[in-house]
Amino acid sequence: MVILAWAMIVYAVMAEMVVSRHQETGLIQVLTLTLQSVHNQLYFLLPTLGIAWLLVFQRPTHHELFLLVNSHHLSRFLAINVLQMLGIILMGTVISCGLALMTRGNLIVIGSINLPLEATLLTLHFAGVALYLDVLAVLTIIFNKVAAAGLVFTAILGDYLVLQGPASFFMVIFLG
């Protein structure tokens, strides 16, 4: 269910970006532009990712946390949960790319000479998502799920509003 929700949101944002272009465009290029857009991340992708994290992540009980810390397996527990969520995100992204290829006529699979750059940007984006999920996991263990999500979203939204607001520095620290 979470995979399909992520796939539909990424597909909707990609379809909107493809509609604005009239010539043939590469799928990787559209996916990179879609995922790297600060507006898309702030209003569509990060809230969906946070809600999916709240649904999927099982916070360890106090006894489990004690055993995980004493046996030095807490980092393994966090890594497994982050990789599980990254797998969900990647499967949803692949599904949305398949839907975009089937429904949009002006998309081609590889349509750019900048493929290494776009692949690098996508890899860095997913590394940033892994870091975001890791911070969310640690805060979820320290606090509860809703408080952790609230802290992370407040930090990201505050960063966006301060640096994109009246001062207009046209930069954001946490997004992009």
The residues spanned by each domain of the chain are 2-164
Give 73 or 164, the one with higher predicted confidence. 73
Q: What is the pLDDT of residues 62-111, one digit of tens each?
A: 999 999 999 999 999 999 999 999 999 999 999 999 998 888 877 777 77
Closest CA to 59 of 79, 89, 81, 85: 81
Does residue 25 sit in helix, strand or coil? strand
Helices (H), 57-166: 62-70, 74-103, 115-142, 145-164
The confidence band for 166, taking pLDDT boundaries of 50, 70 and 90, is low
**What's the confidence (pLDDT) of residue 83?**
95
Q: 26 - beta bridge partners?
A: 108
- 176 falls in which pLDDT band (50, 70, 90)? low
Query: Tokens 């809600």, residue?
Result: 51
**pLDDT value for 168:** 62
User: Regarding predicted confidence, which is higher, 173 or 67?
Assistant: 67
Weakest-pLDDT range from 2-11, 74-83, 130-139: 2-11
Interval 120-141 mean pLDDT: 91
Residue 154 pLDDT greater than 80, yes or no: yes
Q: Between 32 and 171, name the one with better pLDDT.
A: 32
Beta-carbon contacts of 135 under 8 Å, excluding residues fewer than 6 positions away, are 152
Give the CA-trace dihedral at 92, 136, 57, 76, to 10 degrees.
Answer: 100
Evaluate whether 35 touches 45 at the Cβ level (below 8 Å): yes
Rounded to two decimals, the pTM is 0.84
18-73 pLDDT, tens digit per residue, is 776 667 778 888 888 888 888 888 888 888 888 899 899 999 999 999 999 999 99
Please state, rounded to an integer, the average pLDDT across all residues of the chain: 86
